[in-house]
Structure 1
């Protein structure tokens, strides 16, 4: 059996947190046992050569210091005094570099453990000082470089992190951790929409036409705000602008723009500044005011990237004044203008089950547990007209790709018009009065959200639409409706929507419904007071009116969950599968205990009786909010340990436990014990191990979690005989497809879409071969094969796994293989499984996108796929 130290909270953290560093306990045992070492340069053997060299005289004091410091480092490491051990190792390796290869692994381990402690204490500067000292000793150590990058990335220094990951890959191109980290940071530094946007030839051409027209009309000096790759600035220069300036805040994009501009022969004629436009001054940064500002700092909600603030600043400090007519000599004075010239925002009310299940609780039971006592649960997206810094004003979706589609409940309406060439209008946007719009309902359906898009007016002739029916690189903004049971709109209803911009964000809020002359306030409806639908309209109206008389002063229990956590909570198949598998395991363990008890009836002893009397222990190390611990505790004779850390979420579980008649003694939040370094999970017996450990194996984005197999290996050591890891096995499935969409979203496809400018080779350095957050059910693609099993990960039996596997895939039709989408069947045991591909799944899928598409002809149907 394992000693009780294995049950410390710190050990359990290894299961819950991503494993970033080597954690082997077997660190050159010889380092802990040898009291001293002979220095290599103390050998008495003479070296012979043509000329005898004077050998460096041995320094006994120096050797003694190195020897004693090395011994101290080993003892401190054994005692888990990592800070002191690190200091001793620094001294040893600086005085005696010959020990570098010998002590490298132990030094790495000490550095990583000491860095973890410094991180937990918030001593960030000291943490980085330690890494810099380590890299002075081991400048080409790919593991240390990668770890340094991980710390930088977690703390938000993404550009710097990318540099360390890239260097680690240069040292060791086959280093999987560094490669995965580089792909992750590349997704942050160059977001995937850059590729789709640059591949949008129609969008690029319309911007080019508007810029060319403005330059030809006399806008001879141009500033490109948020230049990205520099394409709009290059359009201005190509159109004949005398002076072109550009600014970019992202260091990565700034350096990328400099490379692109240089490669297109414009490095001497376009000045690029690494700064926000809000920090720019005349003449400090640019010599004088410009006559044209071009920008595309707009998101799906139009104002989310700060275009209002940047344009107000530009009009006051960087742009020539707007057109004011002729001067005293009858000449047209120089004026300033902005592209885009303005925008019109549209919206409509929609019913959409996919939006609904990501933003509010849609089920009454989860895994056999009644959710009545859960209180108000919804996503962190607030549609309130009142600003709330803790909530997002909207989320984004591509409506055309949502599984199950959507149903328009109203006609599209105009929510807002804005003129970017009118500074007074821009300054008055936040103080505009709240506008109330009445929308006739055109068909019956449950109100799930307001969907918003806009038309960007580049000039009088050119415009771009981000509407759901357009083939555009933009998504739509989604303002979800949060009422727990929703609200069914009917024809002849009028939906009242409030539109405001109080904090320079566009905010839309569904506030009321006019039905049969009565106004029903949607923000006053309580779960139990208004049904989703009612066949009796009179009874429905009375119920709605009655709710207006109800005392609303009583505060409701509210808890915010991430959108993915809400979708998980609404995934009934997932929770029911776990409920069945846990019940099956507990039943088996009970039978085993009873059999052992009967077998020892003729040899009475306390051991078996104690084991059967004590509860079964279940550990849930899922990330985020999880009900699995509570589902385990509901099986009876089980004590469950939850990884839920947020206090409000713990309160939800406690309320659910009470309402489902589960004693709070059967539920413990083990992460609460980690504040005490010596904190131990109290167990009735030192011999007792876990009956089940629940691992969170697949990220919502569609990828296997980092270091899953290492976590599984640790979990197996903590299981009692007959215990299980959930899931026990993961089977990876895939399919060959032809998808132009995935190509357009993964890399710039040549120079044609980018107006002939040479951009692709530079931005495609940040191409990531795995496309995540993919919905395979709505992906535009042609299937070129049936689904096939690609790989199996056995978490219960490491010997059953293989390192790589070649799979022969039977092609079913001719075409170009551009990608291999993949998903998982997650086996809780041999009979019970859940799929990440189902319509109710809270997981998305992922796909490997081929850099060079592969042609298939009908005569050549078999294709080998190498799975690593």
Structure 2
């Protein structure tokens, strides 16, 4: 029987020709001409509208007009951004992406705007799409690496590599399911691993929720790849927004979660569990055990521990430790401290704690007390959870066991998964968690000693765990440590005071002097550490003095007319004293890029104290519409004597757009050239940056960079999906405390000349000889910042406010002692990439 579906070749209808529309063609032609004319007139908004019309009516022009359209889009959105028309900006990008959905440059630019506005999830999606379209697109790759550190934090990799932790959670979930918990909700599912554990254990129904769009999409991929896509329902929402039966059909019998941070409650576990008990979970078993269907939570509870510590590394990041900076007395600066405060009167604008891995702090720490129990909490007791915030403040008295200056309270916890199993985040444990640090700002110079008692208050205001060191008891005298206290009450007798106690009382009164607390300036932790970097500021002051001396000598009639003013511009990010140090050197008008009003006031106070005339210090950004206008002349007639560039980010990377700023400040140019900003003999600080590195073998860097090993995690295929977010450059590294084996001496990797950007290069090959046998897993790198020919500072020094970074090799390289390794080093903007291979007589071996 013939195939009835086959048609003869003549049965297909001829395609109808499109009719020519003269009016349409005329409109397209005139709009295209208008768009080009508007571009010439720099009327980018009107040009953009004309291009939209042309490309929607005549898509055939897309290839021809793509470059001009991009240029118009970027110029117009810059204008919209500068006047705060953010919604219009995003609307323009949406229209552009409808026309050019596969344009990686537009996608990347949209992602940059989203990231600056704080929409990190959405930004990552655009960078990822741009990379899929063009894997060798360096701008998108650099942006994706930066945003990936925000979206998939490095502790995800550590957690998945923590086999002991994973097994304990799996065993607790399996026991709960086997005991009758057949319906499960995984709150904050992350990669979906706990929900999959429940399904594998035999749960009839499993639900999960995840707020992060990136992690939600990742969890969906992972669950589907493991054959559970139809049996685990994942919701992209907060658990607090979930309802029965709208989102899940009925209440569940088990909630599993790991929404805990170093301070236990910081990720909102209390609020989410209270909501779950009221709306999503079956009621708990009553005291008579009569209910047949009951709910429970894994983990079942936690015990919080703490201890008082002395630690110079913590101290220098949270309070001022020096009396002068670069020759400026800091007495008039007011109170300077970090935005982390555990005061007895909490301030909602302050963070109650920060986090550190105590075992890796440079210089270590000293325990001043024995560990103490700060809190016990039962996650299966909803009344206890609800009463947490209203608990009375608990006062603990801790015997001091070692003499030392109190710098912080360190806190960790034991997470009880069930009656038999628990996880500890203690400083001596090999764990993926850091410890919570409650820094103390108000005990300068006061040393605790054995026999004292430290009075600590513990509370849970707003469901945050808050610890505060309020006083020390010594020889029957109570010495208040919190400056917010009334100085008249700062020393209250507990028993008969001794002469020594009276001295302590006087000290306490001195510490709570109200004149010291009128002016408070809050700085970021890295800014505090920078202020405490005495050597850096002294080196800069000396280098600037040498420059000014040379310029004075070179100016005609300098002795007769005073030589005029020297103009210095400080383009440092955040709080910087460099402009003030410059202004203190006489005949200098300094321009600061400090923006925050409180920080500007602190600089003004210091200027008045140092006798610097008010007109000699100007806040440059107060007169700029945006930072792009910063690098221009101080006035029509004058040039800069010095421009100070902030070169290295605290995390250990070269600051973005550094070289663009340096290239705008050429020192060899004709005086009338508009781009010439430096006077003859003027200087950029620093003059150059030398990048150094070293070959190391480090399992820690591997564990923090990607899920390791060939075996699936608990039998689940997770690594290929989360490892998409592996970032080859590991930041915020402290090389002095890194667990690693050094396989070579340090070697110069790269040189950046900021005074002559034309002399720079983008890639270089470096030969380094292995001093020990091992496996090269990473190349940590740091910077020697040369202020001038005579002074330099290292970001590797112990008192540096900078951290280091490391390139983690995609494939570790085995090396023998004495072998030569060739490193291919590339620098694109602020991103360093390094590839390594062994030199061999038979050719290179990857």
Q: Give the distance between the partners of 2:625 and 2:279, measured in 1 at CA.
A: 51
Question: What is the aligned partner in structure 1 of residue 505 from structure 2?
Answer: 545
- Do the aligned residues in 1 keep the contact of 2:769 with 2:819 (CA within 8 Å)? no
Q: Give the distance between the partners of 1:390 and 1:677, measured in 2 at CA.
A: 27
Structure 1 residues 310 and 747, CA gap change in structure 2 (3 angstroms): same
Question: What is the aligned partner in structure 2 of residue 306 from structure 1?
Answer: 268
Q: Could you tell me which runs of 5 or more consecutive residues in structure 2 were left unpaired when the two chains were aligned.
A: 1-16, 491-496, 667-675, 828-846
Name the SS of the counterpart of 2:392 in structure 1.
coil
1:223 aligns with 2:185: yes
1:665 aligns with 2:624: no
Shift of 1:647: 0.7
Question: What is the aligned partner in structure 1 of residue 400 from structure 2?
Answer: 441
**Residue among 119, 129, 144 paired with 1:167:** 129
Q: Give the distance between the partners of 2:313 and 2:39, measured in 1 at CA.
A: 56
| The 10-residue stretch of structure 1 (303-312 or 317-326) with the greater mean CA deviation from structure 2 | 317-326
- Do the aligned residues in 1 keep the contact of 2:35 with 2:48 (CA within 8 Å)? no
Shift of 1:316: 1.1
Shift of 1:264: 1.6
**Residue among 744, 766, 777 paired with 1:807:** 766
Higher RCO (C-alpha 8 Å, min separation 6): 1
Structure 1 residues 108 and 616, CA gap change in structure 2 (3 angstroms): farther
Q: Give the distance between the partners of 2:120 and 2:628, measured in 1 at CA.
A: 34
Q: Could you tell me which runs of 5 or more consecutive residues in structure 1 were left unpaired when the two chains were aligned.
A: 1-52, 531-536, 599-608
Q: Give the distance between the partners of 2:255 and 2:705, measured in 1 at CA.
A: 30
Question: What is the aligned partner in structure 2 of residue 628 from structure 1?
Answer: 578
Q: Give the distance between the partners of 1:381 and 1:615, measured in 2 at CA.
A: 41
**Residue among 41, 45, 48 paired with 1:76:** 41
1:674 aligns with 2:624: yes
Structure 1 residues 364 and 54, CA gap change in structure 2 (3 angstroms): closer
1:502 aligns with 2:502: no
1:152 aligns with 2:111: no
| The 10-residue stretch of structure 1 (832-841 or 123-132) with the greater mean CA deviation from structure 2 | 123-132
Shift of 1:166: 1.6
Q: Give the distance between the partners of 1:681 and 1:847, measured in 2 at CA.
A: 32
Name the SS of the counterpart of 2:463 in structure 1.
coil
Q: Give the distance between the partners of 1:198 and 1:146, measured in 2 at CA.
A: 30
Structure 1 residues 263 and 690, CA gap change in structure 2 (3 angstroms): same
**Residue among 150, 157, 160 paired with 1:198:** 160
Question: What is the aligned partner in structure 2 of residue 131 from structure 1?
Answer: 93
Shift of 1:575: 0.8
Q: Give the distance between the partners of 1:110 and 1:698, measured in 2 at CA.
A: 33
| Equivalent pairs, count | 792
1:233 aligns with 2:195: yes
Question: What is the aligned partner in structure 1 of residue 566 from structure 2?
Answer: 616
Question: What is the aligned partner in structure 2 of residue 651 from structure 1?
Answer: 601
Question: What is the aligned partner in structure 1 of residue 519 from structure 2?
Answer: 557
Question: What is the aligned partner in structure 2 of residue 28 from structure 1?
Answer: none
Name the SS of the counterpart of 1:705 in structure 2.
coil
Structure 1 residues 511 and 790, CA gap change in structure 2 (3 angstroms): same
Q: Give the distance between the partners of 1:459 and 1:496, measured in 2 at CA.
A: 33
Residues 627-680 of structure 1, C-alpha deviations (whole Å, 9 max, x = no match): 000011111111000000111100100100111111111100011112599999
Q: Give the distance between the partners of 1:510 and 1:341, measured in 2 at CA.
A: 29
- Do the aligned residues in 1 keep the contact of 2:343 with 2:482 (CA within 8 Å)? no
Structure 1 residues 108 and 849, CA gap change in structure 2 (3 angstroms): same
Shift of 1:112: 2.3
Superposed CA RMSD in Å reads 2.8
Q: Give the distance between the partners of 2:631 and 2:690, measured in 1 at CA.
A: 34
Structure 1 residues 538 and 718, CA gap change in structure 2 (3 angstroms): farther
Question: What is the aligned partner in structure 2 of residue 704 from structure 1?
Answer: 654
Question: What is the aligned partner in structure 1 of residue 360 from structure 2?
Answer: 401
Q: Give the distance between the partners of 1:549 and 1:710, measured in 2 at CA.
A: 52
Shift of 1:801: 1.2
1:392 aligns with 2:354: no
- Do the aligned residues in 1 keep the contact of 2:565 with 2:588 (CA within 8 Å)? yes
**Residue among 824, 830, 836 paired with 2:789:** 830
Q: Give the distance between the partners of 1:282 and 1:680, measured in 2 at CA.
A: 56
Residues 61-95 of structure 1, C-alpha deviations (whole Å, 9 max, x = no match): 44762464145313431xxx433343344445556
Q: Give the distance between the partners of 2:400 and 2:217, measured in 1 at CA.
A: 51
1:250 aligns with 2:212: yes
- Do the aligned residues in 1 keep the contact of 2:555 with 2:563 (CA within 8 Å)? no
Name the SS of the counterpart of 1:343 in structure 2.
strand
Structure 1 residues 822 and 498, CA gap change in structure 2 (3 angstroms): same
Question: What is the aligned partner in structure 2 of residue 348 from structure 1?
Answer: 307
Structure 1 residues 172 and 368, CA gap change in structure 2 (3 angstroms): same
Q: Give the distance between the partners of 2:630 and 2:577, measured in 1 at CA.
A: 23
Question: What is the aligned partner in structure 2 of residue 639 from structure 1?
Answer: 589
Q: Give the distance between the partners of 1:576 and 1:335, measured in 2 at CA.
A: 67
**Residue among 378, 390, 399 paired with 1:419:** 378
**Residue among 280, 285, 289 paired with 2:242:** 280
Normalized against structure 1, the TM-score is what? 0.87
- Do the aligned residues in 1 keep the contact of 2:161 with 2:703 (CA within 8 Å)? yes
Q: Give the distance between the partners of 2:186 and 2:444, measured in 1 at CA.
A: 47
Q: Give the distance between the partners of 1:556 and 1:57, measured in 2 at CA.
A: 76
**Residue among 802, 813, 816 paired with 1:857:** 816
Question: What is the aligned partner in structure 2 of residue 140 from structure 1?
Answer: 102
Shift of 1:226: 0.9
Q: Give the distance between the partners of 2:58 and 2:244, measured in 1 at CA.
A: 56
Name the SS of the counterpart of 1:688 in structure 2.
coil
Normalized against structure 2, the TM-score is what? 0.89
Name the SS of the counterpart of 1:132 in structure 2.
helix
Structure 1 residues 857 and 154, CA gap change in structure 2 (3 angstroms): same
Q: Give the distance between the partners of 2:478 and 2:610, measured in 1 at CA.
A: 38
Structure 1 residues 597 and 443, CA gap change in structure 2 (3 angstroms): closer
Residues 832-854 of structure 1, C-alpha deviations (whole Å, 9 max, x = no match): 11111000000000001112111
Name the SS of the counterpart of 1:293 in structure 2.
strand
**Residue among 757, 763, 772 paired with 1:798:** 757
- Do the aligned residues in 2 keep the contact of 1:162 with 1:186 (CA within 8 Å)? yes
Question: What is the aligned partner in structure 1 of residue 13 from structure 2?
Answer: none
Structure 1 residues 853 and 862, CA gap change in structure 2 (3 angstroms): closer
Name the SS of the counterpart of 1:473 in structure 2.
coil
**Residue among 714, 717, 723 paired with 1:758:** 717
Name the SS of the counterpart of 1:266 in structure 2.
coil
Name the SS of the counterpart of 2:263 in structure 1.
coil
- Do the aligned residues in 1 keep the contact of 2:316 with 2:529 (CA within 8 Å)? yes
Q: Give the distance between the partners of 1:468 and 1:680, measured in 2 at CA.
A: 46
1:816 aligns with 2:775: yes
Q: Give the distance between the partners of 1:616 and 1:741, measured in 2 at CA.
A: 50
Shift of 1:144: 1.8
Structure 1 residues 194 and 523, CA gap change in structure 2 (3 angstroms): same
Name the SS of the counterpart of 1:524 in structure 2.
coil
Q: Give the distance between the partners of 1:679 and 1:473, measured in 2 at CA.
A: 44
Structure 1 residues 480 and 157, CA gap change in structure 2 (3 angstroms): same
- Do the aligned residues in 2 keep the contact of 1:673 with 1:681 (CA within 8 Å)? no
Shift of 1:597: 6.3
Structure 1 residues 500 and 685, CA gap change in structure 2 (3 angstroms): closer
Structure 1 residues 249 and 387, CA gap change in structure 2 (3 angstroms): same
Q: Give the distance between the partners of 1:54 and 1:220, measured in 2 at CA.
A: 63
Q: Give the distance between the partners of 1:647 and 1:733, measured in 2 at CA.
A: 38
Structure 1 residues 486 and 94, CA gap change in structure 2 (3 angstroms): farther
- Do the aligned residues in 2 keep the contact of 1:825 with 1:835 (CA within 8 Å)? yes
Q: Give the distance between the partners of 1:222 and 1:842, measured in 2 at CA.
A: 46
Q: Give the distance between the partners of 1:482 and 1:464, measured in 2 at CA.
A: 32
Name the SS of the counterpart of 1:285 in structure 2.
coil
Name the SS of the counterpart of 2:467 in structure 1.
strand
Residues 452-479 of structure 1, C-alpha deviations (whole Å, 9 max, x = no match): 0000011111000000000000000000
Shift of 1:237: 1.5
